[in-house]
Amino acid sequence: MPQVSGSEPLMSKEDTCKLQEEEDIALQVTHLGIMAQTSDGAEFQNSFSKIVIEAEDIFNLEIFNLAPYILSGKLEITLQDDRTLSFVNEISVGELVKASVSEFSPSPEPEANKAFLVMARSRAIAGKEMRRHASDSFDLCNTYHCLEFNGLGGIRDLIRILDRMVPNEVMIANGKVVFPHFQECCGGKISSMKNIYGIDDPVHQAIDDRIAGEGAENCFHSPSFRWTREFLQEEMADFLAVSYAGGSSHVFLRWDPIKTDPTERITEVRLVGKRKLKLSGTEFLQTSWEHFGVNALKSMCFTLEPMRRATIFRGKGRGLGVGLCLYGADGLAKKNFNYQDILKFYYSGIHLERDHQPVADAPQIQGSKSSGAK
């Protein structure tokens, strides 16, 4: 048994137990720390500040009020200073990518899903290299900030099969793995990195999500291609008070869009009232997701129609506006684009590499009109 320091109130003796198959362990947070009890009745006398679960195979994590997570490998559960629990799971990039694509892909098309696998793998690898979570005890978070991940339970068979067809492939630009941005639906026009984030990035250019001379936009079939949402005046006032005025109303009375980019996405907003506050459009949108959920304001591409007690928002697309359009990629696959051409359509100046070697061009799909697509 390791030595225990009495000065750390939550520190307790280290303890280990082995669970048999079908057995489980229940954890509970009390004022003393994390308490544990196994299903066969073994109780741990101490409370812990950290619990580590190491499984040879998969296990099920159930958290009250949330859908169960199927996980594998090592899981560290740590009690934070604010009495919440942090969960850190060690997982291979390959499993993370397959789980994430299975979750976010709206497409049944093999070539679109191959493009998503290469994109997500690039994002995981580059995100780790960029140390976006340098101040945390993990490399990637499980939200759209890095890659959405809710366990291995949702991995689709199709995704597993397709993953074996693009093994270890990543997107490269300027000698580095690209950190690709993506969105569910662009509404027809994709914004540049420069206009949305103020960062010069030749890979993420503004483009129209359509093939010149070939009819409708590639993402025309997305349920979020066009949307309408009515917000009551009080609803918006409440949002501004809670999210920007520390809960006090009457500080910000309204907000105005003050800048749009050439795609008509709102890139800057101003809150007006006793104080004034300028925010980027993406910041405003992401804060609205935290407040209203992700189904209210779907993008920053909308027009406003003020009514007496409410405002009608008429919008286009869903997401932050930069990078590959998931529904557009599905549309391109339906127009016989292969996965490489899909990626090159959305990301400028990239090429694909596998284990540091360039990937040969994929054969054109029969009936393809995609050659030379840029």
Contact residues: Zn ion, CB under 5 A: 141, 145-146, 186, 209, 219, 325, 328
Q: What angle do CA 329, 343, 287 make, to 5 degrees?
A: 65
Element (H or E) spanning 87, and its range?
strand 85-90
CB of 26 to Zn ion, least distance (A): 29
- The residue assigned the tokens 């026009």 is 189
Closer to Zn ion by CB, 230 or 283: give it: 283
Name the E strands within 193-292: 207-208, 226-232, 252-260, 266-273, 276-280
How many DSSP H helices and E strands does the chain contain?
A: 8, 19
How far CA 153 is from CA of 10, 61, 234, in Å, comes to: 34, 11, 40
CA atoms within 13 A of residue 58's CA, in its CB half-sphere: 9
Closer to Zn ion by CB, 33 or 187: give it: 187
CB of 133 to Zn ion, least distance (A): 6
Closer to Zn ion by CB, 12 or 299: give it: 299
CB of 244 to Zn ion, least distance (A): 23
Closer to Zn ion by CB, 96 or 240: give it: 96
- The residue assigned the tokens 């027809």 is 188
CB of 270 to Zn ion, least distance (A): 28
Q: Quickly count: other Cβ atoms within 10 Å of residue 19's Cβ.
A: 15
Closer to Zn ion by CB, 104 or 312: give it: 104
Closer to Zn ion by CB, 219 or 240: give it: 219
CB of 325 to Zn ion, least distance (A): 3
SS3 category, 160: helix
Closer to Zn ion by CB, 323 or 328: give it: 328
12: tokens are 């307790």
CB of 263 to Zn ion, least distance (A): 11
How far CA 252 is from CA of 160, 208, 242, 265, in Å, comes to: 50, 36, 10, 23
Closer to Zn ion by CB, 104 or 249: give it: 104
CB of 88 to Zn ion, least distance (A): 13
Identify whether the C-beta of residue 299 lies closer than 8 Å to the C-beta of residue 156. Answer: no
CB of 330 to Zn ion, least distance (A): 10
CB of 292 to Zn ion, least distance (A): 21
Element (H or E) spanning 281, and its range?
helix 281-292
Element (H or E) spanning 240, and its range?
helix 233-244
* Helix ranges, 92-190 (H): 93-104, 110-129, 157-163
CB of 220 to Zn ion, least distance (A): 8
Closer to Zn ion by CB, 33 or 106: give it: 106
User: Which DSSP string do the residues of 322-362 spell out, in sequence order?
Assistant: BSEEHHHHHHHHHTT--HHHHHHHHSTT-EEEETTEEPPPP
| Largest pairwise CA distance in the chain | 74
* Distance between CA atoms of residues 107 and 109, nearest Å: 5
Closer to Zn ion by CB, 30 or 84: give it: 84
* Distance between CA atoms of residues 123 and 146, nearest Å: 7
